[in-house]
Chains A and B, each alone.
Chain A
Amino acid sequence: MIENRPVLTLLAHLVLILGVAIVAMPLWVAFVASTHTATDFMSGRVPMWPGPHFVENYAHMFGQGVSTSGTPPIGPMMLNSLIMALAIALGKIAISITSAFAIVYFRFPFRRLAFWAIFVTLMLPVEVRIVPTFKVVADLGMLNSYAGLSIPLIASATATFLFRQVFLTIPDELTEAARIDGAGPLRFFRDILLPLSRTNMAALFVILFIYGWNQYLWPLLITTDPKYYTIVAGIKRMADAVDGLPQWHLVMATAVLAMLPPVLVVVGMQRLFVKGLVETEK
């Protein structure tokens, strides 16, 4: 449809700009706050433009952290978050693609039961099963460890279903051609299925990386050693200053930094991400 109505175009742009403003405003305030001193922000008049303390505040976070709330410098926390997010994303992809492979391509007893069992776990997010999960992880001695941070979050029904759908779109003839070409199940998986689900894996990686990076409740519960603090949980600890005011300018600097890696992942993998979500031709 080609139309040329300036008023409509203007209106459309206004709505879009308004939408962007609503989303971007808090981010802008966070960034502005991170470039002022603590007192500027508490004075009652919230500044709307960046102040002169950008370098100082960020250097402070990288250098020593907020010692009053017991958080380490930001670098190790970012690293912890990265390790957790990568472990969750890659672990989920590995587990779900193999279980989807089993469900789609193998006939085994209780296959339907397995399928429904996976389905049911969709109804049990971390928050619902958090107490028993904590108990299990504690008994296994995985508190304050990377394994404890990532393993309980790795099983994923959603990703299994996504891969199941991908596999179902792969024509039977291709499977049969591979069989005649002498590819056993594992070789078929490695040589045909994995390359064909590459874009889906990329799309899933983006979603799961952000999911892992943004984990809040679980890391907060199971990490008491600052060595294993993740950045998202760290922000919460900083804001909870027990004696004295929260150092909002530093909290905001941390928040801004915490946003960067997911943004980088999305920007860097955007092309593959969109392809993986829309591509249907196999």
Chain B
Amino acid sequence: MAAITLDNLGKVYAQGSRAVGDVNLDIADGEFIVLVGPSGCGKSTLLRMIAGLESITDGQVRIGGRVVNDVEPADRDIAMVFQNYALYPHMSVRQNLAYGLKNRRTPRAEIDRRVAEAAEILQIGPFLDRKPRALSGGQRQRVAMGRAIVREPAAFLFDEPLSNLDAKLRGTMRLEIKALQTRLGTTSVYVTHDQLEAMTLADRLVVLNGGRVEQIGTPLDVYRRPASTFVAGFIGSPAMNLVPAAALPFADAPAGAVVGIRPEDLRLDARGPVAMTLRAVEELGATRLVHGHTGGQPITAVLPVDAPLGDRLQLAVAEGAVHLFDATSGKRIN
């Protein structure tokens, strides 16, 4: 267990394209950090730089106070869970779990103890003598996590571990990962493009865009006060409405600003300031998504299922729910 520090971390590929730039992050011991962003934002590269699978061209990575820029992945005291599980197909589950320990010359009895313990935690005991190909996706994912647990490393690195699972299983596994991490208290860095996973798992979120950090904060902070239009549009589902100030004249915004309002902060109100022309309705069961236009701009609201709908709706905005952003830089201004 250890803290991880990223110091002005950057990566430029040999042909000159920049993948990651100026990342500064202090990860506390035992903290669960989620790196989130759209594909190509550099989040996986960043994780692989911490793991040592990708070379570092600028800055430093420190794990437990030790600079590890030039340390082999095996000697960084980290364990990684891969998207495609990366289990050794010719080894049984038991051998898969034990392989890393065997290479480190851990005594036989100690290996057996840790494997049994991990199997117990992850409930994969009955499969220990099977080959990975005889397991389902969820079971394989458990084995991949088991391989990380038995190492008892300073940090877990997760590279989109749930993206190959179906939606239902993803939900359960998400809970299990969270419970596991809380129980073991191991520092974790988790990469995902799924904002729901990011919100539910993270102690702190790191939102990345184009290789740079857009915002770092707890999930609620990021949700309540997104630092830029990018974060505002990325975190939260359905995405925040981002409309030029001219289309929402009531919002008391400086000219040229962008106004952001979360769909769930809109409600029906005959005297409300937002006039919406209805275009489409999506039923979600508990609520419904109402899509339309205001002042020529698309806008979405989350409304209760019993709300009366017509071609034109008047909507009010919840108190303090207006976010203002600079139109050119995209940065938050209120």
> Mostly helix, strand, loop or mixed at chain A's interface?
helix
Which residue of chain B lies nearest to A179 when distances are taken between CB atoms in the complex? B73
Complexed CA–CA distance, A182 and B99 (Å):
9
Q: How many A-B residue pairs have CB under 8 A?
A: 58
Given A174-B88, A182-B74, A182-B104: A191 and B82 interface contact (C-beta under 8 Å): no
Interface 1/0 per residue, B37-67 and A, CB below 8 Å: 0000000000000010100000000000000
B86 an interface residue at 8 Å Cβ cutoff? yes
B147 cross-chain contacts in A, Cβ below 8 A:
177, 181
How many residues does chain A have at the interface if contact means C-beta atoms less than 8 Å apart? 19
What's the minimum C-beta distance from A165 to chain B, rounded to whole angstroms?
A: 17
Given A173-B82, A173-B84, A282-B89: A181 and B100 interface contact (C-beta under 8 Å): yes
What's the minimum C-beta distance from A173 to chain B, rounded to whole angstroms?
A: 4
- Please provide the chain B residues from 233 to 292 with a CB less than 8 Å away from any CB of chain A in the complex: none
Given A180-B79, A282-B89: A191 and B99 interface contact (C-beta under 8 Å): yes
What's the minimum C-beta distance from B161 to chain A, rounded to whole angstroms?
A: 12
Interface 1/0 per residue, B70-83 and A, CB below 8 Å: 00111100111011
Interface size class of B (residues with CB under 8 A): 20 to 34
Contact between chains at B80 and A183 (CB < 8 Å): no
- Please provide the chain B residues from 81 to 124 with a CB less than 8 Å away from any CB of chain A in the complex: 82-84, 86-90, 99-100, 103-104
What's the minimum C-beta distance from A280 to chain B, rounded to whole angstroms?
A: 12
A187 an interface residue at 8 Å Cβ cutoff? yes
Given A179-B73, A180-B79: A173 and B86 interface contact (C-beta under 8 Å): yes
Contact between chains at B103 and A181 (CB < 8 Å): yes
What's the minimum C-beta distance from B256 to chain A, rounded to whole angstroms?
A: 47
One of B82, B84, B87, B90 near A196 (C-beta < 8 A) = B90
One of A176, A181, A281, A282 near B99 (C-beta < 8 A) = A181
Complexed CA–CA distance, A196 and B86 (Å):
13
What's the minimum C-beta distance from B52 to chain A, rounded to whole angstroms?
A: 8
B80 cross-chain contacts in A, Cβ below 8 A:
176-177, 180
One of A176, A182, A195, A281 near B103 (C-beta < 8 A) = A182
B84 cross-chain contacts in A, Cβ below 8 A:
171, 173
A222 an interface residue at 8 Å Cβ cutoff? no
What's the minimum C-beta distance from B102 to chain A, rounded to whole angstroms?
A: 9
Interface centre among A176, A181, A191, A282 (most CB of B within 10 A): A181
Interface centre among B74, B87, B133 (most CB of A within 10 A): B74
Contact between chains at A171 and B86 (CB < 8 Å): yes
Interface 1/0 per residue, A167-189 and B, CB below 8 Å: 00001011011111111000100
Which residue of chain A lies nearest to B88 when distances are taken between CB atoms in the complex? A192
Which residue of chain A lies nearest to B100 when distances are taken between CB atoms in the complex? A181
B87 cross-chain contacts in A, Cβ below 8 A:
177
Which residue of chain A lies nearest to B54 when distances are taken between CB atoms in the complex? A176
What's the minimum C-beta distance from A176 to chain B, rounded to whole angstroms?
A: 5
B99 cross-chain contacts in A, Cβ below 8 A:
178, 181, 183, 191
Contact between chains at B90 and A176 (CB < 8 Å): no
One of B78, B88, B89, B90 near A180 (C-beta < 8 A) = B78
What's the minimum C-beta distance from A120 to chain B, rounded to whole angstroms?
A: 29
What's the minimum C-beta distance from A232 to chain B, rounded to whole angstroms?
A: 37
Complexed CA–CA distance, A74 and B83 (Å):
59
Given A173-B82, A173-B86, A174-B86: A180 and B103 interface contact (C-beta under 8 Å): no
What's the minimum C-beta distance from B29 to chain A, rounded to whole angstroms?
A: 21
Which residue of chain A lies nearest to B48 when distances are taken between CB atoms in the complex? A176
What's the minimum C-beta distance from A170 to chain B, rounded to whole angstroms?
A: 9
A-B contact pairs, 8 of them (CB 8 A): A176-B73, A177-B87, A179-B53, A180-B100, A181-B103, A191-B88, A196-B90, A281-B133
